[in-house]
Chains A and B, each alone.
Chain A
Amino acid sequence: MTFVSHRHPAGAGATAPVQTFDPQAVRAQFPIFREPRARPLVYLDSAATSQKPDAVLEAMGRYYSTFNANIHRGIYQIAEEATAAYEDSRRRVARFIHAGSPREVIFTRNSTEALNLVAHSWGRSRLEAGDAIVLTVMEHHSNLVPWQLLASERGIELRFIPVTEGGELDLAALPRLLADGRAKLVSVVHISNVLGTVNPIPEIARQAHAAGAVMVVDASQSVPHCPVDVQALGADFVAFTGHKMLGPTGIGALWGRRSLLEEMPPFLGGGEMIREVKLTGSKWNDLPWKFEAGTMPIAEAVGLGAAVDYLESLGMEAIFTHDRELVAYAMERLREVPDLEILGPPADRRGGVVAFTLDDIHPHDVATVLDADGIALRAGHHCAMPLHERFGIPATARASFYCYTLPEEIDALVKGLHRARQVFAR
């Protein structure tokens, strides 16, 4: 890996040398890009899931082949090793997001489960008929449907921060949504998986707290791509998912403020989440194990720990800078394609995601033409149907970037889009 020092491009007047990395060298550490194939893989779907570096796969393999054992139970050596590795991953994740303590980090299956945990455990114990929940029109279905379920069960009102034509939250509407004091929870995506919009969470959290509501953040697209400090965000709960941050599937996390987590009832019942079980009742385990029922995905947690190490070795500032340089370049190049319309804000206000429509060609057809060139592009509603409805379109094509993405891949995308126009020219 070559690290070069350069001045931070965005930090006006910043003189401290900032870590940067060579994406070609990063690619060399991802087996999927080394795999020989007829055409090189141009992977532009990292917002859906990221590729995995050797370090992550090796860490998981090492667990399975040298110290595979169940955790927290065995008192023999490899069980102790497995427990240590699992808890060590939790510590690394906690440090990565600047949590006050590893006890505030609960391992889940993914973001979806983390958000459902909050809806079930906090929501069902704290909310009642007549309360309100504030969401936004740009939410992923996983930060929408759990609240809908809760709302219909409890008679809770859902309110939505609108999205402007430019793809940003219309925060002028927020004070009105909070004014009557009935809103008890506000849940907002940090970086939109469609628009790329970076939402001003600290400001939203400030208003939510002033109105007496707790603040939940869907950080599925931000924790993998930029420095996230859960304290600085001012949030009460933050959900993210391992497979989008170079880690394996099947592992994600919920960070929660300790005082809230302490008071919440368990989410799932079973082994490990209890301290003492009698036939008719039980005492709950301490945090975070109270929320980790049954045998957890141990190898996946170990893999997530390795992913965090890898991300830190590149530097989260450097990764975000790389993403943003790519998205700026992509938006500039995409403008060359006739009849192409980009959704969302200008490059300086978004992460490494760009969704667009191309004339009246269905995004599925666009993606199919590009697939023939080995380009993996996403097409559809990206689990954000209400957002697409807001813009009056059923679907978009989406390109998304990460630390291994190269500018040449954006050139290939643009070339493919020109070809798609030719194929479907009437």
Chain B
Amino acid sequence: MSGFDDIYRENILDHYRNPRNHGTLESPDITYEDANPLCGDLIRMDFKLKDGTIEQVRFSGHGCAISQASASMLCERVEGMALEEAKKIGRDDVLEMLGIELGPVRLKCALLALKTLKAGVYGIQQWPGEEEESTR
């Protein structure tokens, strides 16, 4: 089995080809866009909030399969989730959803969606996981 089969698992390709929660929202409560300057990946997320939960979320943008698949998986996961709970999602949760291991460059692709979510909803500007990294 060669390496790219490891990375481009069927679930990733499936989310990449048929992204869930893809698109934009009419009048979102929050719109946030973030990019990875290294590779030009760009993700925009629109949120509708209600009673402390993420009622609706849609993403758009462009980028590699990893960045787009992780956005799709993340949106699917957080729609309907309490804001308090969504805030707890971290780097490892995203990697677990993707089910792969990634080197430092591709890791940013995988985490762009989560970074966009956290910056948009909670105003947290750091790359997920970077807080831990900086003390090592």
Shortest Cβ distance from B103 into chain A, in angstroms?
Answer: 10
Q: What number of B residues sit within 8 Å (CB to CB) of A? A: 22
Q: Is B80 an interface residue (CB 8 A)?
A: no
- A373 with B2: in contact, given A364-B106, A380-B40, A426-B17 (CB under 8 Å)? yes
- A379 with B39: in contact, given A362-B63, A362-B64, A424-B65 (CB under 8 Å)? yes
Indicate if the CB atoms of A394 and B8 lie closer than 8 Å. no
Indicate if the CB atoms of A372 and B2 lie closer than 8 Å. yes
Indicate if the CB atoms of A371 and B3 lie closer than 8 Å. yes
Shortest Cβ distance from B46 into chain A, in angstroms?
Answer: 21
| Nearest-CB residue, chain A, relative to B62 | A394
Shortest Cβ distance from A418 into chain B, in angstroms?
Answer: 13
Q: Is A296 an interface residue (CB 8 A)?
A: no
| Nearest-CB residue, chain A, relative to B65 | A365
Chain B 1-30 near chain A by CB (<8 Å), digits 1 or 0: 011111110000100110000000000000
A365 to B106, alpha carbons, bound, how many Å? 10
A115 to B91, alpha carbons, bound, how many Å? 39
Q: Is A311 an interface residue (CB 8 A)?
A: no
A423 to B42, alpha carbons, bound, how many Å? 22
Indicate if the CB atoms of A395 and B40 lie closer than 8 Å. yes
A350 to B39, alpha carbons, bound, how many Å? 25
A380 to B109, alpha carbons, bound, how many Å? 12
Instruction: Give B87-103 interface residues, CB cut-off 8 Å to A.
Output: none
What residues of B have a CB within 8 angstroms of the CB of A426 in the complex?
17
Indicate if the CB atoms of A368 and B39 lie closer than 8 Å. no
Shortest Cβ distance from A161 into chain B, in angstroms?
Answer: 24
Chain B 41-66 near chain A by CB (<8 Å), digits 1 or 0: 11000000000000000000011111
Indicate if the CB atoms of B40 and A368 lie closer than 8 Å. no
A319 to B118, alpha carbons, bound, how many Å? 51
What residues of B have a CB within 8 angstroms of the CB of A78 in the complex?
none
A379 to B106, alpha carbons, bound, how many Å? 12
Shortest Cβ distance from B1 into chain A, in angstroms?
Answer: 10
Chain A 352-389 near chain B by CB (<8 Å), digits 1 or 0: 00000000001111001101110000011100000010
| Nearest-CB residue, chain A, relative to B7 | A368
What residues of A have a CB within 8 angstroms of the CB of B5 in the complex?
372
Shortest Cβ distance from B3 into chain A, in angstroms?
Answer: 3
Indicate if the CB atoms of A369 and B62 lie closer than 8 Å. no
Shortest Cβ distance from A72 into chain B, in angstroms?
Answer: 40
What residues of A have a CB within 8 angstroms of the CB of B16 in the complex?
424
A45 to B100, alpha carbons, bound, how many Å? 26
| Nearest-CB residue, chain B, relative to A389 | B40
A62 to B66, alpha carbons, bound, how many Å? 46
Indicate if the CB atoms of B38 and A380 lie closer than 8 Å. yes
| Nearest-CB residue, chain A, relative to B102 | A368
Indicate if the CB atoms of A368 and B62 lie closer than 8 Å. no
Provide 6 A-B residue pairs closer than 8 Å at the C-beta atoms, listed in order of the A residue.
A362-B64, A365-B8, A368-B64, A372-B4, A372-B7, A424-B65
A-B CB proximity, top 5 nearest = A394-B40, A372-B3, A362-B64, A372-B4, A364-B64
